[in-house]
Chain A
């Protein structure tokens, strides 16, 4: 499973390489989000490994836990970018030759968020706990690059 920096790099490249027009709304997602109602059937202490795998499918990552257990991760990445080029209209007014010179004035703002659903199983395959990371709020369309992220 790709994770961490490689995925962030893919998302950043995806945001940068698409929507190269004078104004662009761009979004890159990896996988589909898991919603709370999709995992409502999970009851810690009762639900078994097979039930979880049957309902949610294979996880994106399995991590060994210290107590012979295992933690299953389901990832959802979402990244959004809004950008515009204020210099683009100058191309219509600059004289021939001068219009070939760089006249971009790009403004953009992007955010990358990752939401993880995590289920931990003990050595006998019983769910110990489950939960969402709720770290997806950073992915939203913003106007100017001078605006900082406020969760």
Chain B
């Protein structure tokens, strides 16, 4: 610091006057500082508190899976063939279904998995959850007649911004 700044510094306000060569702004700052001598520590304290509040919230990224077994793989899905694969083969491949339904005189195995991605940045948090649903329809002979697969977890993203869509 040069001498000009150190003269202007008894109140700890030198940053405002760093490159000011004229006396006018210095007087203005002194005047303000003298008028409210106790304001600055409070402001600094509030500023620090705000920074700690923001920084203390920290960041976190978490991933989780919900549901039975591992995620469906493309080879699992393509191994189930219409008119060929039987109920027993589907169970051997994917395990017991999460639910069994009877729809339109057809037996339907329903498998589902959930995936979760959570992000926290400062004071904003967002948890995105998506499901993969696999339906396997069987005819009267217990052979696969239709396979329906909805893969939503591949579009799952880490997001921290909770506003908007």
Question: A residues near B, CB below 8 A?
Answer: 1-2, 10, 14, 18-19, 21-33, 53, 57-60, 62, 64, 68-70, 80, 88-89, 92, 123, 141
Q: Which of B99, B102, B114 has the most CB of A within 10 A?
A: B114
A58–B148 touching, CB < 8 Å: yes
> Distance in Å from the Cβ of A18 to the closest Cβ of chain B?
4
Please indicate the chain B residues that have their CB under 8 angstroms from the CB of A59 in the complex: 133, 150
A70 to B146, CA, bound (A): 15
A60 to B163, CA, bound (A): 25
A55 to B112, CA, bound (A): 19
Please indicate the chain A residues that have their CB under 8 angstroms from the CB of B102 in the complex: 64
Please indicate the chain B residues that have their CB under 8 angstroms from the CB of A80 in the complex: 162
* B56 part of interface (Cβ distance < 8 Å): yes
Please indicate the chain A residues that have their CB under 8 angstroms from the CB of B110 in the complex: 1, 62
> Distance in Å from the Cβ of B46 to the closest Cβ of chain A?
9
Please indicate the chain A residues that have their CB under 8 angstroms from the CB of B104 in the complex: 64, 68-70, 123
Category for how many chain B residues contact A: 35 or more
Selected from B114, B123, B128, the residue in CB contact (under 8 A) with A19 is: B123
A25 to B123, CA, bound (A): 6
Question: B residues near A, CB below 8 A?
Answer: 45, 49, 53, 56-58, 66, 98-99, 101-105, 108, 110, 112, 114, 118, 120, 122-131, 133-135, 148-152, 155, 162-163, 165
Contacts A58-B133, A62-B103, A64-B101 given: A1-B120 contact, CB under 8 Å? no
Q: Which of B127, B135, B151 has the most CB of A within 10 A?
A: B127
Please indicate the chain B residues that have their CB under 8 angstroms from the CB of A24 in the complex: 57, 123-125
B134–A58 touching, CB < 8 Å: yes
Q: Using CB atoms, name the residue of chain A closest to B58.
A: A21
A21–B148 touching, CB < 8 Å: no
Please indicate the chain B residues that have their CB under 8 angstroms from the CB of A32 in the complex: 130, 152, 155
B135–A29 touching, CB < 8 Å: no
A32 to B117, CA, bound (A): 13
Q: Which of B45, B57, B120, B126 has the most CB of A within 10 A?
A: B126
> Distance in Å from the Cβ of A66 to the closest Cβ of chain B?
12
Could you jot down 12 A-B contacts, CB within 8 Å? A18-B118, A21-B53, A21-B58, A24-B124, A29-B126, A53-B148, A57-B151, A59-B150, A62-B103, A70-B104, A88-B53, A92-B49
In the complex, the 4 A-B pairs of residues with the closest C-beta atoms, listed nearest first: A58-B150, A57-B150, A21-B57, A27-B162
Please indicate the chain A residues that have their CB under 8 angstroms from the CB of B99 in the complex: 1
A20 to B134, CA, bound (A): 36
A21 to B118, CA, bound (A): 16
6 A-B pairs besides A2-B114, A26-B125, A57-B148 with CB distance below 8 A are A14-B129, A19-B125, A26-B127, A28-B127, A58-B149, A64-B101
Please indicate the chain A residues that have their CB under 8 angstroms from the CB of B133 in the complex: 1, 57-60
Please indicate the chain B residues that have their CB under 8 angstroms from the CB of A18 in the complex: 118, 120, 125, 127
Contacts A25-B123, A62-B110 given: A30-B130 contact, CB under 8 Å? yes
